[in-house]
Structure 1
């Protein structure tokens, strides 16, 4: 089974995909409500503002950052804080995720979140250009993530020009310096964009690829604005709608052990 299937099934079963989708919808709704070209707002303002709102909404739905609590009971008592600043009815639509299901897992100061062995960062991109995001031109952290080893051991390494050797060495040094717990993580990217005139959004989750010299920006990516198609390649369990009354009615998130592919295992 593929890494993409593993990631999507793990994160969907835990409610993470729905939570990220809600966070992005809320972030862009608030951004476009506040957008005022007469005040000097432009596409750059839209992208920067939405990026900050997306970070805030993820912290809200996952009970992280300034919304962190120590127990479901504390979460219930702090719901007014979580709801403050949201547009009408957004809080009612917010998925209820038990505190501690997802934790903050920043990488070199870049905001990140973690569930199980999956971590994700967020990155903005120009609308319509998700497949050609130039990761080699991004921050060292985003380059490092895009340079992660893939599950296919036969994947050839990208050639490195002499003038880019120091950059490559920095990335490899950072990768080799990870501790055991950090090394077990696979870091994904939530990529988001909006076309302000049309109000059209894009939202993807995937494994970025260091596309030096061009080529696809992803080993794989999934459109989070498209409803789940079914089973991600496997039989899917029926989903019982979750009550929206509060955290005390939410069951524990399922955590499934990932199967590591051994040499010679082509499944």
Structure 2
């Protein structure tokens, strides 16, 4: 079985893929509802706002950050906190996962989440350009993730290092060493990549293993379109879908049952 199948089957069975899809749809539905070009909003505002909403929605559905609880027994109180700010119907359709199944696993200060041996970070990209994301031009953290080694008996680097790329390789290795304390366990870090075409309101959402591409090469070792069900249809493309207006969105299939939770007093992360 390939790494792609391993990752997607693990995350689908746990309800994580459905939760990611819900989080992204909620994030963009709210972003597009609030978008107002007459107020000065532009593509930069859309991207920044949706990125923040996506982080917040993932924390909500995974019971992380300020939505964390100390135990499942505490999860029945504080429902208003979890539902606050969501559009009508979103809270009711939010997939149910047990608190603690997914936890925060930040990398170099970049927000990340972890289930089992899989970690994922968020990344925005220009709509329609997912296959050409220039990872070498991104932050040291995103470059480090794209430079991860592929599983295999030889444990070779993903890409050969040529003389004119030595500085890039050194940069990635330096970032890896600086963050060695965060990767002591053998986590594989994936990327949850999102985009929207603001005039049409259509969006894209992919989960995959980024590749440190050179000269505009392929940006992924593999990626899966989370907007095309079923989640088991690995690696195939799909047309993006449009977020609904403030009335809500199509239901996301429920995952494993999760008790509701309250915000821990004093927990601001």
How many Å separate the matches in 2 of 1:161 and 1:104? 38
Superposition deviation, residue 79 in structure 1: 1.7
Deviates more, 1:11-20 or 1:173-182: 173-182
Unpaired stretches in structure 2, ≥5 consecutive residues: 236-252, 261-269
Give, in whole Å, the separation in 1 of the partners of 2:19 and 2:190: 16
Question: Are the aligned partners of 1:189 and 1:207 in contact in 2 as well (CA < 8 Å)?
Answer: yes
Q: Distance in 1 between matches of 2:224 and 2:80?
A: 33
The total of aligned residue pairs comes to: 240
Provide the residue aligned with 2:250 in structure 1. Answer: none
Correspondence for 2:187: 185
| 2:112 maps to 1:100 | no
CA distance in 1, matches of 2:138, 2:157: 23
Matched, 1:159 2:161: yes
1:205 matched to 2:217? The reply is: no
Q: Does 1:24 align with 2:14?
A: no
Q: Deviations over 1:109-164 (max 9, x none)?
A: 000000000000000000000000000000000000000001243666333444x5
- Contact preservation (8 Å) 2:14, 2:255: no
Aligned pair in 2 of structure 1 residues 157, 6: CA closer, same or farther (>3 Å)? Answer: same
What RMSD in Å do the two structures reach over aligned CA positions?
A: 2.2
Aligned residue in 1 for 2:259: 247
Could you tell me whether the CA contact under 8 Å between 1:102 and 1:115 is conserved in 2? Answer: yes
Cα distance in 2 for residues equivalent to 1:38 and 1:138: 31
Residue 121 of structure 1 is matched in structure 2 by 121
Rounded Cα–Cα distance in structure 1 between residues aligned with 2:254 and 2:21 = 17
Cα distance, 1:179 vs structure 2: 4.5
Gaps of at least 5 residues in structure 1 are 234-239, 249-267
TM-score, normalisation: structure 2: 0.83
Say if 1:179 and 1:195 are closer, same or farther in 2 by CA, change over 3 A: same
Any conservation in 2 of the 1:160–1:168 contact (CA below 8 Å)? Answer: no
Shifted more, 149-158 versus 205-214: the winner is: 149-158
Higher relative contact order (CA 8 A, sep 6+): 2
Match for residue 54 of structure 1? 54
Distance 2:30 2:204 in 1: 16
Q: Equivalences for 1:60-99 in 2 at 5 Å? A: 60-99=60-99
CA distance in 2 between counterparts of 1:18 and 1:182 reads: 29
**Structure-2 residue corresponding to 1:217:** 219
| Deviation readout 1:1-32 (Å, 9 max, x if unpaired) | 10000000000011000000000000000000
Query: What is the Cα deviation at residue 243 of structure 1?
Result: 8.3
Say whether 1:226 aligns with 2:228: yes
- Which secondary structure state, in structure 1, belongs to the residue aligned with residue 224 of structure 2? strand
- Partners of 1:206 and 1:242 lie apart in 2 by 21
